[in-house]
A and B are shown apart, each in its own frame.
Chain A
Amino acid sequence: GAGVSQSPRYKVAKRGQDVALRCDPISGHVSLFWYQQALGQGPEFLTYFQNEAQLDKSGLPSDRFFAERPEGSVSTLKIQRTQQEDSAVYLCASSFGSGTGVGSNQPQHFGDGTRLSIL
């Protein structure tokens, strides 16, 4: 499809395991964002990429969280040594524009998220 694609849709892991969540943004989109959405809450910003550069990772809750986008397209969010509080929906969004330059008002398009449950 033409939208943002995330996989897997659901992931169940035991506490302490590592997980990897994948995001395929819309082709040609420069900006990519990861958000964490706890049950009953709004999304919370985790990290931002402009092409392959991770320009903001201020929202990552701990050093167990790591994100990459090596070729400026697909991105992976990795969580090491998962804890129960990591259980949430992880949303990926992409947009054509970047920062405050041309296209900076382009909207963010969201995937349907990965629902992560840590047992």
Chain B
Amino acid sequence: GQQLNQSPQSMFIQEGEDVSMNCTSSSIFNTWLWYKQDPGEGPVLLIALYKAGELTSNGRLTAQFGITRKDSFLNISASIPSDVGIYFCAVNAGNNRKLIWGLGTSLAVNP
């Protein structure tokens, strides 16, 4: 099925470092979402982007909706151990708002 290209696949960083991950698509989407999933739990919405070019922050997280509407990035500043998990980008597809997901970026933080 249709997929988003998410990179990097995994990251291993030191506590306090900044992190950047991105997501691209060959198609235009009008809503981009970033979720975090911890082991054994469901995805939790971090940031939702609804407007091309929009830059949105949520605490140490910042996400941007690319101007072409075909990409988005997520930055995490000053990482902490609880940032460990898998980060997914997702887009709304179709009128019923079903989500199409990337394959995820696995983040490990060394204390």
Contact = CB atoms under 8 A, between A and B. Distances in A.
B45 interface: yes
Given A42-B103, A42-B104, A112-B40, A105 B48 contact: yes
A110 B43 contact: yes
B96 interface: yes
B88 A42 contact: yes
Interface in B17-53: 31, 33, 40-45, 48, 50
- Chain B, interface size category, equals 20 to 34
Contacts of A50: 96
A42 B102 contact: yes
Interface in A42-76: 42-45, 48, 50, 55-56, 59
Nearest to B1: A44
Contact of B99 (A43, A97, A113): A43
Residue among B33, B97, B99 having the largest count of chain A Cβ atoms under 10 Å: B97
A45 B43 contact: no
A111 B50 CA distance: 24
B1 to A, nearest CB: 7
Given A41-B103, A42-B88, A105-B31, A99 B43 contact: no
Interface of A: 4, 31, 33, 35, 40-45, 48, 50, 55-56, 59, 91, 93, 95, 97, 99-100, 104-105, 107-113
- CB-CB nearest 8 A-B residue pairs: A42-B101, A110-B42, A45-B98, A48-B96, A107-B45, A112-B42, A56-B96, A112-B41
